[in-house]
Structure 1
């Protein structure tokens, strides 16, 4: 599934930053995609605030991995986030992917999502475990847009 993310730099002639973003996206997608897939999130119907929170979560998850890999290029976490969105929602509207650079990135919902994603990303970086922030976000904010009952058993009590 993630094979195209691991293409060799020399074969694809992509920049080192993009190659790094693809590797980070593959890690984040492999950890987040099962939860999103089980929830059957109706991403096409998300209001801006929830879209911003989800995008923020994904970007926040990428940040600790970038820090651990000593990635200095500030565009790498954003590129990785866009790649994760494309993997998770291949038929997503263009605005969903574009929201990373838009006004949504300055919203409070985006900041809350980044903080939650960063906590899960840091936990993954230090322990190898996924964390529960995404489950809590789905339980608290996305219940009307996904089948939370399919992932509720994984949620903390």
Structure 2
């Protein structure tokens, strides 16, 4: 179900922004895939608000990395977010990644997910450690859609 993060290779026709987004997506995916895979998240059945929270988390995580790399005023964070979704849920390309629209971006759930992702991204940027916000989101909001016992074991360890 889950795909291991791919090696980032430069593509000759690729823009610098897209190449940067691929690198950021690879970082975020490599840090979040183990948690999501362990939880056995049933992403195919997520309600729209939970999809928004998860996508918001990925977007928020990308933002501190972009800031650390002095990426301003571009679409790199949004592009990286879409790439993260495609890396983590390769079989679900048509749902999560294409449901990112203005309604989702302006939703309260997206904002909450983005703030949680930003906290984990900032922790990663400053210390190199991944945070626990994703685990906390899975435990509190995604109980009916993942193996709660595996997630709980991670939060108490």
Distance 2:73 2:17 in 1: 7
Given that 2:86 and 2:93 are in contact with CA atoms closer than 8 Å, whether structure 1 keeps it comes out as no
Give the equivalent residue in structure 2 for 1:44: 44
The CA RMSD measured in Å over matched residues stands at: 1.4
State the 4+ residue runs in structure 1 displaced beyond 4 angstroms: none
* DSSP-derived class of the 2:72 partner: coil
Distance 2:122 2:104 in 1: 24
What is the TM-score normalised by the length of structure 1?
0.93
User: Structure 1 residues 92, 3: closer, same or farther in 2, change over 3 A?
Assistant: closer
1:66, distance to aligned residue in structure 2 (A): 0.2
User: Structure 1 residues 20, 93: closer, same or farther in 2, change over 3 A?
Assistant: closer
Give the equivalent residue in structure 1 for 2:118: 118
Instruction: Give unpaired runs (5+ residues) of structure 2.
Output: none
Give the equivalent residue in structure 1 for 2:5: 2
What is the TM-score normalised by the length of structure 2?
0.93
Tell me if 1:70 matches 2:70. Answer: yes
Q: What does residue range 1-157 of structure 1 map to in structure 2 within 5 Å?
A: 1-4=4-7, 6-10=8-12, 13-92=13-92, 94-156=94-156
